Amino acid sequence: MEGEAVRFGIIGLGLIYRIAHVLAFQEPEKARAVAVCDLDEGLVAAQAQALGARGYHSYSDLLADPDVEAVDIILPHNLHFAVAKAALEAGKHVVIEKPMTVASQDSLALITLAQRLGLRFTVAENTRFIPAYAEVKRLIQAGVIGEPTLVRTLISGSEIERLTDSSLWKGRKDGSCGGVIIDGGAHSFYLLKWLIGEVASLQALAGKLVPESEVEDWAVVTGRFTTGGLFSVEFTFTSGGPWNERLEVHGREGLIVSDQLREPSALYYSHKRDYDGTPLVGAPFAPRTWKYRSIADGILDFAAAVRENRPTGVDPMDGWYAVRMVEKAYESVATGKPASFD
């Protein structure tokens, strides 16, 4: 099938599909949607017509469609494991929205199952496809800032409207299985692993400012890498500004700062008196589109991995590791103590 477009079934037509994942399927020469599935009949009818795809209301019926080679799963967190497992058992390649699952042992089970069946499987982690982060990774690997001593991240935006609506899964423990730690942490913890490596220990604080919600809407997680460097990550779902991600990587010989709302979006400071910094040319300023474009690029990379029979750009084990860090962060919140990694 090398050179042919991968034929996708899409399971879940909610908001993140309609503003981000759909962009990938607007390049049908690479990823062609042949089937869509959702419980909402109106969404199925509209998307089936727009994409020229067949519509289903049961994911089991979609998985039985022999024309579907791969599935893009975009569902509430609590459904990830069961649907992904069924898709793999049906012989479909699988890419699933983050977090991979809500329990790390389930993530590992899916990775193992996909390997046994010879199928491509990974998490739709857009962090890997944000140009600024790719530039930061390149500079770290080149050693231009020396040994990293501190990594700081911030994910900020507003989920107040969805958190206060009990008819939606976002603010309910039964659907989301957590708040900013499992939602934002899936991104930041993946980024830490991808940029630097494994974590030795962490400590977390969390709470909520939205009383109607069942889940935390802010958190701070700090810790130490096995290499000795430190990290600090922050999350908030109550920011009145646009969605943003900020990253600082401090090294003994320099500093890199990325901020999606700043122009330029990434700067390299080469020494302690370099007050101006050097813009990273591979990191365009795109405050309105960086999030959605990177999500779509991740789906297209997955399609290319299936088409070319190569590993996915996002190592599924890094997706598993992010879930493991989420578990450790919740453990620390519950005990009020640091949590260590084996």
> 20 pLDDT band (50/70/90 cuts)?
very high
pLDDT at 3: 66
Q: What is the pLDDT of residue 4?
A: 87
Burial (0-12, 13-18, 19+ Cβ within 10 Å), 170: buried
Instruction: Please report which confidence band the pLDDT of residue 2 belongs to, taking 50, 70 and 90 as the band edges.
Output: low
- CA nearest to 247, candidates 99, 123, 140, 158: 140
What is the rounded average pLDDT for all residues in the chain? 97
Report the side by side order of strands in the sheet with 339-340.
Answer: 278-279, 266-269, 254-259, 244-251, 148-156, 230-236, 218-225, 199-207, 339-340
Average pLDDT over residues 183-208: 98
Rg (Cα) of the chain, in Å, rounded?
A: 20
Which pTM does this prediction carry?
0.96
Please answer whether residues 204 and 217 qualify as being in contact, where contact means their C-beta atoms are separated by less than 8 angstroms: no
By three-state DSSP, how is residue 244 classified?
Answer: strand
Amino acid identity at 146: G
% of the chain surpassing 90 pLDDT: 99
pLDDT digits (tens, 9 = 90+) for 52-106: 999 999 999 999 999 999 999 999 999 999 999 999 999 999 999 999 999 999 9
Tens of pLDDT, residue by residue over 224-259, are: 999 999 999 999 999 999 999 999 999 999 999 999
Q: Which top CATH class is 6-126?
A: alpha beta
* Across 190-210, average pLDDT: 98
The structural domains of the chain, with segments of one domain joined by +, span 6-126, 128-293+322-340
pLDDT per position as a tens digit, 245-300: 999 999 999 999 999 999 999 999 999 999 999 999 999 999 999 999 999 999 99
Q: Is the pLDDT of residue 319 over 90?
A: yes
CB neighbour burial string for 24-40, b if at least 16 within 10 angstroms, e if fewer = bbeeeebbbbbbbbbee
CATH topology agreement for domains 6-126 and 128-293+322-340: no
Q: Is the pLDDT of residue 114 over 70?
A: yes
* CATH code of the domain occupying 128-293+322-340: 3.30.360.10
